[in-house]
A and B are shown apart, each in its own frame.
Chain A
Amino acid sequence: MFTLSVATFRERWQLFVGAILTVTLGVAIVQSSLLIVASAGGYGEAIAILGLALGVSAFLAAFIVSSTFAFTIAQRRRDLALLRLIGGSRGQIRRLLLSEALLLGVLGTLLGIPAGQIVLSAQTALLENLGFLPGSFSAAWHGWILWVSLGLGIGVAQAGVLAASRRASRVRPLEALRETGAGAKVMTVSRWILGILLVIVGLTLMLVSTAVSNPNGAIPLSINAMVALALGLSALSPVIVPLIGRLTGTLAGRGTIGRLARANLRDGVRRNSSTAAPLLILVALLIGLAGTFDTLSEGAHHQLTDNVRGDLVAAGPIAPLTPGVATASTEYALTIKVTSVNQGDTETDDFPALAIDPAAYQQAHQLPLIAGSYADLHGLTVAAAGGKLGSTVRIHVGGQDLNPRVVAVLPPALNGSPEYLLPRDLVPPPALGPAQSIVRLQPGADPAAVARSLPQPVLTLDEWIAQSDSAQDSLNAGVMKVVMGLAALYAVIGVVNAVVIAAGERRREFAVARLTGFTRNQVIGTALLESAVVTVTGLLLGWLSAMAALIGISGVAGTMVIPWGAFWLTALGAFLVVGATSVWTSRSATRATPISLAGTRE
């Protein structure tokens, strides 16, 4: 069986190029990210970004490999039926495909391990550039990573082929005798069930997420809602693509090309959904993630503008009785360790906190409390975001362990806002971090004159809000650059692969169209039109899935931002890539004279 796998592999390597590249990329990125994470203990932001990259990468690799495999197996139905015809059992067909996947996984891994070292230096440089890692950073090599890479590469390939091989093993021997290699029904019962189930799960998660008041809960929920919806819609895409084809096809006109394109969209369902699927996932991930970040920072911005009352913000404590100053809330930023006990597991994490003067803080921040009151915030007490009133928390600050009581519950913290407020006298002075004071002026005082007497630099409130926005935005932008680049790379591999495989399959169909009187350009035009409709479908469904994430997160953020700029950029890129690949492949598929192709079957 293995000989046959090797032989098939040699013969049909074009079908596997996309999957091999995908495994290579997946192995390279996961390996490099893990090596950096293993060495970057202290750099939380870098670890967070890489964690996201790791997840996205492994997910996309598995997705692209499995959709490529499903597609190539559909194309080889006739070959597989032939094996059944001459005595191959179902188990043998499965073993054949699984050993092909093994071969592919090993090959992808062997390429991926050295590629990982290149990705490592690129990732390190990028993270240093974005300021998440120090310039001197260098990830140490670990031997165990080879096993992780090998396991991942082979695992992704095997997982990708599992479902498709089960399906392939049910091919009937008689199908070897059919004229066309066209596969059986695309929409099987199990595919319907899976698709509908995932859509329901997606929508449910979205609704649950809108009701969650804590961003730490709402973000993963809404991202999961998006992923479930995207997978569900891509499972259902064989039904949706022709539907949208009919809608948009009507716009394409009643001309001959439009008619043929519409008919082909109805006919080549598997081909079209294989092309639409990676686009769908790309758009869902990009728009969903970018939109989540934008929505959260917009929400944080609203929290600041709505709640902070003041005129100036000074970078230090304000001396009492400074002329022109009505009230000033001096806030010291610090990081505290909080130990939480969760079903017997103790977990200690770092949290951003502020040491404040409760009375002054209340004047400067009109953020309504969920429970409790600032008035009680003195002595061994704390205000916590999302805690329980009256409970005690274990914190470690300035070298001492404390068990303060929660006397006030803050609304959930959006990007960067403090999770804990401590009364100033609770914190030993050496532990206090940099201070800033939100200053309210006396009526009639000259802001410029007062500002000169305060600790520099002094910003107006608007400037200060703008500054905290941009700090947050640059972190988000860094994350997006890393993740977007990744997702786009995978999607390009997936889409180009699907279009190339599809065009190979269509040589004969194109030839027949030309023999019936279509010119070569009309055939190419039809293919282009079809690919445009498929692109629109992929973009639309991806956008819908992304909306699940945005609606989910809007509950906690109190607002919603749809990143149209990123969407249109992706759309433009998708049309260019799909269009160019489609024209290129259909040109090369129609280069030979039609009559020489119409007769050949293999």
Chain B
Amino acid sequence: MSMLQTQAGTAVELRDVVREYGSRQARVRALDGVGIGFARGTWTAVMGPSGSGKSTLLHCAAGLERPTSGQVLLGDRDLATASERDLTELRRRDIGFVFQSFNLVSSLTAEQNVALPLRLAGSKVSMKDVRAILTGVGLGDRLRHRPRELSGGQQQRVAIARAMITRPAVLFADEPTGALDSAAARTVLGLLRSMVDEAQQTIVMVTHDPAAAASADSVVFLRDGRIVDRLVRPSVREVADRLAALEA
């Protein structure tokens, strides 16, 4: 942990974040005072049994959900209190998303999908950059294909290219390999790894899969809305054992 923090400070930090759902009678506490910093240029995996609050943690860290209390700091801004307009700005420049279900716009080609965040942000779209980034994820020959003409692994790589085109401060990934076969999953994990190693990309990833988690720099374990454990550069075996212990 200390090694990670010394690198370059934190990209995102959660301070005593509480997130509750439901009204008085049926109140559920999905996050129960979580405090964690994600260091710049590192890849952190978040694991935990179903209902442990790992998706909520990701959503709060990415400004998709407002915490009931606590702070979420991205740079010098607090996402917990940011306005809708600021959050939109943030999603345009500082945050990228990759999901289990790819979430590509089905009517647009791979190229157009990747260029979309730039268009939404109103910046000048350089097709050269778009092609370069798609070539970078190994899809230089699939530029004009629509999502349905691509395999799951290819679609996920388009989604990664789309998230990376704005050079975000943090890439949030929610089960990025959840819908992929093992070969495609390996390709995607390798891609994420090289982004961290070569471009010092910060990645926060929620996953169920010990193999995916083991590709990360560190793994954080959640149970009942609290961080209960943390491993640095674990093996697949270690992750699986720790997870099994939590679920028992």
Contact = CB atoms under 8 A, between A and B. Distances in A.
B91 A8 contact: no
B106 A87 contact: no
Given A11-B107, A92-B120, A84 B88 contact: yes
Contacts of B85: 89
B174 interface: yes
Contact of A173 (B91, B107, B108): B91
A345 interface: no
A90 B87 CA distance: 11
A185 interface: no
B120 A174 contact: no
B103 A82 contact: yes
B108 A85 contact: no
Interface stretch (B8-16, B69-77, B111-119): B111-119
Interface string A1-26: 10110011011100000000000000
Contacts of A172: 64
B84 A7 contact: no
Contact of A86 (B59, B84, B120, B174): B120
A52 interface: no
A82 B105 contact: yes
B156 to A, nearest CB: 15
A564 to B, nearest CB: 49
B26 to A, nearest CB: 18
Contacts of A8: 107
Contacts of A177: 64, 99, 101, 103, 174
Given A87-B88, A89-B88, A7 B103 contact: no
A86 B164 CA distance: 11
Interface residues of A, number: 26
B162 interface: yes
A3 to B, nearest CB: 7
Interface string A428-448: 000000000000000000000
B91 A601 contact: no
Contacts of B97: 85-86
B246 interface: no
B65 interface: yes
B107 A7 contact: yes
A88 interface: yes
Interface in A464-511: none
B226 interface: no
Interface string B92-110: 1100010101010111100
Contacts of A602: 106, 148
B121 interface: yes
Contacts of B162: 86
Contacts of A7: 105, 107-108, 112
Interface in A369-408: none
A110 interface: no
Contacts of B105: 4, 7, 79, 82-83
A215 to B, nearest CB: 54
Nearest to B148: A602
Contacts of B121: 87
Contact of A174 (B65, B84, B148): B65
Contacts of B84: 90
A601 B101 contact: yes
Interface string A306-319: 00000000000000
Contact of B119 (A1, A90, A173): A1
B103 A83 contact: no
B106 A83 contact: no
A514 to B, nearest CB: 23
A87 B64 CA distance: 12
Nearest to B163: A86
A245 to B, nearest CB: 27
A176 interface: yes
Contacts of B107: 4, 7-8, 10-12
A197 B167 CA distance: 51
Contacts of A86: 91, 97, 116-117, 120, 162-163
A30 to B, nearest CB: 32
Contact of B88 (A1, A11, A88): A88
A178 to B, nearest CB: 10
Interface in A61-88: 79, 82-88
A11 B84 CA distance: 30
Contacts of B101: 177, 601
Interface in A267-288: none
29 contacts: A3-B112, A4-B108, A7-B107, A7-B108, A7-B112, A8-B107, A10-B107, A12-B107, A79-B106, A82-B103, A82-B105, A83-B105, A83-B120, A84-B91, A85-B64, A85-B91, A86-B117, A86-B162, A86-B163, A87-B93, A87-B120, A88-B88, A89-B85, A92-B120, A174-B59, A176-B103, A177-B64, A177-B103, A177-B174
Given A86-B117, A172-B64, 15 more contacts: A3-B119, A79-B106, A85-B97, A86-B91, A86-B97, A87-B121, A87-B166, A90-B84, A90-B88, A173-B64, A173-B91, A174-B64, A177-B64, A177-B99, A177-B103
> 4 nearest interchain CB pairs?
A11-B107, A87-B92, A7-B107, A87-B91
